[in-house]
Amino acid sequence: MEQDIENSLFDLSVDETAKDHLRRICSWTMIIVITAVIGYVVAIIKSLMPKAQVLQSEGFGVSVSRGQNPGSVIFGVIFGLLINYFLYQFSNRTKKGVNGMSQTDLNAGFYNLKIYFVIISVMVIIALAFVLLFFLAVGANGATK
Amino acid sequence: MEEDQSILELQVDETASKNLSDATRWAKFLSITAFVCMGLVVIFFIALRSQIASAFSEVIPGFSDIDSLGMLIGIIVIAAGIVCLLMYFLFRGSVLIKKGIESKNQDMFNHGLASLKTYFIMYGILTIIGLVANLVSIF
């Protein structure tokens, strides 16, 4: 018990400045989540709109694609919702932790922030791998010609 | 009195330290990757500007003039600059939070949180701008 109290005296504390920063971070992450969810609804609406419109330009018809493939939109929305779920959990639990002085909620909030960054980083690594594969395929194609 | 208060305060305990350290490690990786990617995009775009201009001129008539290409390069450079600024705050935040936890330095930890706050504010503003642009494009 005494050891715990001594340890806590030497730990970093979440002082008033840190609490203020964390509250602001929570507010903005909640704004990001809400904006993202509205964005997904807009993306779904756009994907259901008529696909292409023809712009007439001095006698030449130029087809301009409007809206994305519904499959890619659904994939994007599912992926986005997954990321934003963890951001929402971070915002919610950290706010509870800071306002209610709950160490468990604060720790859960930080855990969700970690998962949020891990998922984004893994997705970035996968995307970079695809880009690299694309360039390798283009290079190999060019070399065989 | 102060000791009593510090016992009752929220702490960055072992669990919080571990989670925050892991989060900052991944955030640092993300920011460095973004810096490298933005640099590559700008270099790639400037190196292949003539091919890109000819590809665009097939879709958009009258694009091939030098002003349009210059404007496009300007937009790309500005966009890369904004992303780099955003990632700078994420990088700074992750480095300071990690150093603050390791050295148990409260000021450094708070400065790290301030940078992370700036990152999320900037990210939030960009998200709102993106949403408004998306809504405008519907009508």
* Domain residue ranges in chain A: 2-144
Instruction: Enumerate the residues of chain B whose CB falls inside 8 A of the CB of residue A45.
Output: 138
Inform me whether the C-beta atom of residue A113 falls under 8 Å from chain B C-beta atoms.
Answer: yes
Residue A55 dihedral angles phi and psi, to the nearest 5°: -95, 125
pTM: 0.84
The answer for A21, left when phi > 0, alpha when psi is -120 to 50, beta otherwise, is: alpha
A75 near B CB under 8 A: no
| Mean pLDDT, range A109-130, rounded to an integer | 95
Q: What is the mean pLDDT of residues B127-132?
A: 96
**Type of residue numbered A127:** A
Domains of chain B listed by start with CATH number:
15-138 (1.20.58)
**Residues A41/A43/A46/A52 CA torsion (nearest 10 deg):** -170
Residue B63 scores a pLDDT above 90: no
Task: Convert the pLDDT of each residue in A62-119 to its tens digit.
Answer: 444 455 677 888 989 999 999 999 999 999 999 999 999 999 999 999 999 999 999 9
ipTM given for this complex: 0.86
Asked if residues A82 and A76 have their Cβ atoms less than 8 Å apart, the reply is no
**B17/chain A closest Cα distance in angstroms:** 9
